[in-house]
Structure formats: C-alpha cells, structure tokens
Amino acid sequence: MTQARVLVVEDERIVALHLQQRLKTLGYDLASPAASGAQALERVRRERPDIVLMDIHIEGSMDGIETASEIHKEFHTPIIYLTAYSEAATLERARGTKPYGYLVKPFSERELHATIQMALERGAADAAIRESEERLHLALEAADMASWELDVSTRTVLHVGKAQRLFGHAHEVFSGSWDRFLEQVHAEDQHLVNRAFERTVDGHGLGVIEFRSVHPDGSVHWLKVQGRIFATDASRKKRLIGVIQDVTTRRHTETQLRQAATVFEATQEGILILDRQFVTLDSNRGYCAITGYEREDVIGRAAHLLSSPDLSVADWRIAQDTLAANRQWHGEIRGRRRNGEALPVLANIAAVADRHGQVSHYVALFSDLRAIRQAQDKFQHLAHFDPLTDLPNRLLAMDRLEHAMQAAERAQGKVGLLFVDLDHFKRINDTLGHSVGDDLLRTVATALRLAVRAEDTVARLGGDEFMVIVDRVEQPEAMGELADRVIAALSRPVTLSGMEFAISASVGISLFPEDGATQEDLIRAADTAMYAAKDAGRSGFSFYRKEMTERAALYMERDRDLRRGFEKGELRLHYQPQVDLTTGAIVGVEALIRWQHPIHGLRGADDVVPVAEKSRLIVGIGDWVLREACRQARAWRDAGLPPLRMAVNVSARQMDPDRLPDVVRQILEVTGLDPAALEIEITESTLQNDERCVATLRALKELGVSLAIDDFGTGYSCMGSLKSLPIDRIKIDRSFVQDIPHDRNDEAIAEAIIAMAHRLNLIAIAEGIETEDQKAFLQTQGCEEGQGYLYARPLTADAVAALLRERQRGDVPHGEERVGQGAEDAQA
C-alpha cells in the first residue's frame, strides 16, 4: 500500500519537528511543514498531501480554521485539527469546516495514528462518492437531463436540478410545495401530471410522463419526467426520485416528421425515395395514382418515369450530370402510365447528403401535367376558335388569310373572300331569345362548312358575321357561284325549338390582289360589298367596286355632318296640312324634318333620314321630332288656334315596346298635349313579321294616341294581320296618286286601298294630291282626307299659325286657296 503523505501545519518549530519525527516513525510520508496559512495553501497546491494536520493558532493573517476552510473548498483534502484549545466557540468554528478529526494536545501516538487512519478511510470514501456524483452529473449533462426528488408522504419537492433552465424559475420558487410545482405545468397538462403523482401514492410509481411547462416569458417547453419510489433510510420514508429532460426539440422534430409523413402520403404529387442507383426505396400514394402502378410494383425497382422509353439516354445523362453538379434537377418528362397512356410530368429531383456530405439517396417529386396540358390545349383552341360555332375566330382567320395571300403572291394567283351577314338576325334574337339565336348561328355554321370546299376556311367574325377564305381562285365568276351556293344553303328552312325559320344572307365579295393589298383592306372591301348587297334588297351578293368605298366615305362624311348639325340645333320641323276632301277644312298636319345647313341651306328629309337610319342616330332624332311636334301642337292650342291632329313619322328602329311608349308618355306629360291630338305614323314595311312592332303599337294605343300606316301599298302587308292591328288610318302612297287619272292601274290600286280601309272601319288619307282631277277621283271613291301641293306645301310653324288664323276670320273660303306656292320648293 502506498504511504500516505502528511502535511503538518504548526508555527512552533520544535513542536512541528517532534510531530514529523513521530509520523515518520509511524511510516507516513511527510510533506514540507508549514507555519502559516499561506504556506499551508502553497504546500497543498504543490505537494498534494493526502491529509493535513492543522494547528488552529498559526502565523499569518489566517488561523488554522480559516486555512482549513480554504483548503477544503479547493482540494477536499481531509484535515485533522491538533490543538490545545477545546473551548466551545473554537469547537463550533472548527465543526463548520467539516474536519476529519479533532485531537486536543497532548495526545498519544496511538491516538494520532488511529485518527489519521480513520480520516484516510473516510476521505477515500468521500472521494469515491464525489467521483460517483461527478460521473452522475456528467452523465446527466451528456443526456441533457436533471435530477429531481420528492417526498411522497409530505408532498414536498426536495430537489429539482436545472430548475431555471427547465422551468424558467429558480428551484426555491416551488421548492417544498407540490402545488407550487404544479403551477409551473401548462394548464391543459396539470390534470395529467397530478394523476401521475396520485398513482405514486398508490405505489405504482411515476414511470414516464411528458408534459408542457410555461416559462415566465410565455414560451412553452416540453418536459419528460422519469422516476421511481425509493425507501431511502431506516425509517423507510418513500421518496420519488428521477430525472427531468427538456424534449421540446424532439417533440417539434416529431411533429415535423408527422407533418412530413402526412404530406408524403396525402399530397397528390408523386414522391419517390431513391437510392444512389435510382432504385425506389419508397413511394407515396400520389405516385401510384399518377402512374397506375401498385406500391409493390414500384419498391425495389428503377423509377418507371425515369426509365421511360420516351426519356432519351442523352436527356437522362444530362439530368444526372446536373444532379451531380448542383444536387438538384428539374425538368419535364414525357412518361407513360401503366396502361400505356402518355403521361407528361414535371420532375424535381433533389440529392440528400449524409453527415459526411456524401449523397445517400434522392427524393423525386412528380407533378401530373395532364390537366395543365389539356387546359392549355383548350385555351389554345379557345384563343383561335369561336366557342359557339367551333369555327375559326377572327384571330385565326386573319392568320389564315395572311398565309393565303402570301402563297397567292408567290404563285401570282388570287384569293377570294366572302363576307356573309345574316339578314334580320337581330329580330330573331329580340323576339325569340338568345338561345334560339345561338342555335341558329350553329346551324348556319354547319351549312356554311357544307357549302364550301374542305380546304376553304369558314370563320365567324362575331355576331351574325361570317367570312369564307377561298384559296387559289381561278376565275372571279367562281366566287359568284360560291356566293350563290352559300345563299341557297342558308335559305333552306330550318326547325329550331319547334319553329321553322327561313333565313337569308347578304354576301360581299372581294379578291386579292385587285381589291386590297392587306388583310384589313380586303376585309373592308368585302364588308363594303356586303352592305351594297343589303341595300340592293338583301338575300344576294355583290362584288366589291371602288365606287362603293367612295360612297361609304361620302356616307361617313354625311354622318359626321349630320351629327354635328343635330348637336348644334340645326334641325327644324315644317308641317304639311292634311285636309278633309269634302269640306276642305284643315284637320291635321304632318311633321316633316328639315335641316338648316350652314353652307348648303335648307335641306329636306332625304338628306337626313337615310343617313340617320344607317347610323342609328335616328332614335335620338326621332325623340327630338316627337318632343318638338308635341310642343308646337300645344303652343298652337294655347294660342287659341283650332285643334289639329299632329302626325309624326316613327322609324322602325324606334319601335321598341320597352322604350317608345315610355318616351311618348313622358313627352305628352311634359308638353300637356292631349294624346288624341297625336298620331304616330309607321311605314307598312315595319309591320312585316315583327311581333315587337305590333306590341309597340298596342302599347301606344293604350296611351290614347291614334295610329296610321304610311306609304300603304309599297310594303306587301299581310291582310290577315292588318285587321287585328290597332290602326286608325291608312295613307295611300303618293306613287299611286301621281298618275291618276291617266294610269288605270294606279286608279285600281287606290280604289282597292280605299275600299279595304272602309271594310276595316279605317280612314283613308291620300298623299301627293297635286291636281283637281286627282282630288275628284279620290273623293268619288270615298277617300276622306288628303294632303299635297294642291292644298299646301310644307310650312313653317308660323306660316301654319297664319293660315289657321285666316281660316278663323274667313278670309279664305275652304277649298279655294293654294297655300305656300313658291314659299318653299322642298318636298316632304
């Protein structure tokens, strides 16, 4: 056994020398003696004695007790006091340093030896305990754990290690009270922890439990507690002893792993885990759903999408090189499903490195692009085809026309263009609804495709406008023949929604390069020709001619001029008297529009109405005519003049049952004119197959106004429907009056119209009476009223007022005057 080294601390040299001799005799190894506390500390640090024999009263600023305390703090070296002092105060101070012995001088050699031996044994045992505790402490540190202890019987918390770190509080905050400890537990977990503690009381022990702790800063930490019940002393008191570990990071990691696992399985994208040779280690349901393979068909095999025949060796080598360089690759792959169906996917492959930075495996994500590709194809189709008829739209038609023109230019050939517009399509939409209109457009599209060659392009430009592009036109006459076929195909009756329709179309024809060098010019030429076909009577075709563009330009100029004149207040109303053919009395006037042009002077209705009809300006002008005529009629009555019927012509474009009756009612209310004093005139052609027009007439009749058909005999009215209309008068057109009595046909027509009017209880009024012979014939046939130059030209409002005043005074006998001769040559 190695000799124990002893340090003697004694300020009396003789005593120290004697003591060292005795120790040497007893077989101890001696350190250099010390006489003061500072020397003692220096000897301990340098020579590391196994035991120190300490005198209490020594030299220097520290006595033996103070020196022993310092040695104990730094080295845990066992100390035995050798002193002549045994008073209580000294003993109490010495006890505080936890000495291993206390010998009062004088003492025997035997006592000294026995005390040293027992101190050495106790010191060895304490060192072993300290070493064990250190190992335990280091083990807890390595495991990131802390110890804890609780007295089961008293519910006293005896110890909690790392309390500040684990709970955010010092141990003293909840030391001694289980309830205080429970307060540090998250409210939702307190019941769980308390129940676990109660189980310990029943002898089942705590086992393992995880709960949350809320720190003062509001942060939440997960703690894992393990423990068992021990009886720690002779009294067999039960204590719950164990360890606490902060597992917040682990819990968060587990949550993330669960989330990742959920995403792995729930995502619709296909996911594969691959080894370094791209053999499948795992797959999710999404991959199986996309490819049609079962999981057992995938695991342990090369990824099907990465080994598809559609993926070339060169492309896959590029992908692998990119993975090696960047640890990531993404690109589109054309794969195959299990059933052989093409499967476009977007692949994203990422390399996963191990702790040494080496690739351990790959994660591949596959997104099914089928829906996207289908949507792109659909959008591409929608971008170039009309969704209603599935014909090429304007965009695609322009592209094909450009290609056809380029090819014709290279071959010095011709391209033909048909511009097809349905006649009266708006009427079908307005009366039968847009669904029937849509069905009709689809039927027209089918008929057009069947009427042309397969290589010709039929396109819908919008609304009821279609275009046919004809490549390689040999002779211009062939375009006329094709137009005839198109018109014939569209004129065949069709049945939609249980109703039969007979439609017609007007076609304009232009040719490249004669009629235009660009797409826009060629389409504009065909469009202009189409309008010429409509003006010629519809249901026909017209080739483009340069004069058409000149006429269109002239029309545009007139339209702009008329709009300016309307806005500047240049429009006027003149009034032509209507007389009783028997008495010659003035019974009414017809309002006729005039234009006081600042350059061209007074212009007639022929310079206003046709232009306004084409530009739809007629609705605004028509409203103005109604307001001005009703205002003037009311002004004459307020001036004391005899009552007159005010006849106002209304355009077919104004015959809207949802609008015109409201406009007339408001005008009558504002002007205060009696509704019976207003007569609305419509042309006979307006009545043809137009239910909305009939509905408008009935609504106007309910307001109390009278109704007349103007220009009767020129519009081919349906006699069966005429009898059901709320009409009061029929006006015989001037074309049937002007050749009476020289044309027997005109006489027969006028006679028939008058007879029909009487049979329908209607009043007949003739226009354009200019001679006594005409008047006499009409009067003989029973025509009640008339108007024309025989009686008066159209007059200004003041001239009409003057005429009426003359009639009131009796200055002019009825039937003998010729009013306004030479005053105005403009014709109604």
pLDDT tens per residue, range 789-818: 999 999 999 999 999 998 888 765 544 444
Q: What is the pLDDT of residue 667?
A: 95
Q: What is the pLDDT of residue 232?
A: 61
- 3-state SS, 289-322, equals HHHCCCHHHHCCCECCHHHCCCCCHHHHHHHHHH
What average pLDDT does this structure show over 37-53?
Answer: 92
Q: What is the pLDDT of residue 146?
A: 77
Is 408 a residue whose pLDDT tops 70?
yes
Q: Beta-strand (E) ranges in 90-168?
A: 101-104, 145-151, 156-160
Is 414 a residue whose pLDDT tops 80?
yes
Flag the least confident range among 69-78, 133-142, 389-398.
Answer: 133-142
Token pair of 679, please? 């007569």
- Residues 419/523, Cβ–Cβ less than 8 Å: yes
In sequence order, which ranges of 422-506 are alpha helices (DSSP H)? 425-432, 434-451, 476-491
What average pLDDT does this structure show over 601-615?
Answer: 86
What average pLDDT does this structure show over 365-369?
Answer: 81
297-318 residue pLDDT tens: 888 888 777 776 767 777 778 8
Is 206 a residue whose pLDDT tops 70?
no
Is 555 a residue whose pLDDT tops 80?
no
Element (H, E) at 7: strand 5-9
Q: What is the pLDDT of residue 171?
A: 61
| Confidence tier at 582 by pLDDT (50, 70, 90) | very high
Q: How many CA atoms lie within 13 A of 826 on its CB side?
A: 20
| Confidence tier at 181 by pLDDT (50, 70, 90) | confident
Residue 520 CB partners (closer than 8 Å, separation 6+): none
Q: What is the pLDDT of residue 261?
A: 66
Q: β-strand 5-9 against 29-30: which pairing, if any?
A: parallel
655-679 residue pLDDT tens: 888 899 999 999 999 999 999 999 9
> What percent of the chain shows pLDDT beyond 70?
89
Tell me whether residue 187 is exposed, middle or buried, using C-beta atoms within 10 angstroms of its C-beta: 0 to 12, 13 to 18, 19 or more: exposed
| Confidence tier at 470 by pLDDT (50, 70, 90) | very high
C-alpha–C-alpha distance, residues 256 and 251, integer Å: 9
Q: What is the pLDDT of residue 823?
A: 34
- The number of angstroms, rounded, from the C-alpha of 143 to the middle of its chain's C-alpha atoms is 54
| Confidence tier at 345 by pLDDT (50, 70, 90) | confident
Q: Please, what's the largest Cα pairwise distance for the chain? A: 181
| Average of per-residue pLDDT values in the chain | 84
| Confidence tier at 183 by pLDDT (50, 70, 90) | confident
Flag the least confident range among 145-154, 165-174, 375-384, 456-465.
Answer: 165-174
Question: Other C-beta atoms within 10 Å of 591: how many?
Answer: 24
Token pair of 85, please? 């002092």
C-alpha–C-alpha distance, residues 689 and 702, integer Å: 22
Residue 224 CB partners (closer than 8 Å, separation 6+): 208, 209, 210, 244, 245, 246, 247
Q: What is the pLDDT of residue 402?
A: 92
Nearest CA to 16 out of 29, 31, 35, 3 is that of 35
Is 279 a residue whose pLDDT tops 70?
yes
Nearest CA to 685 out of 646, 647, 733 is that of 733
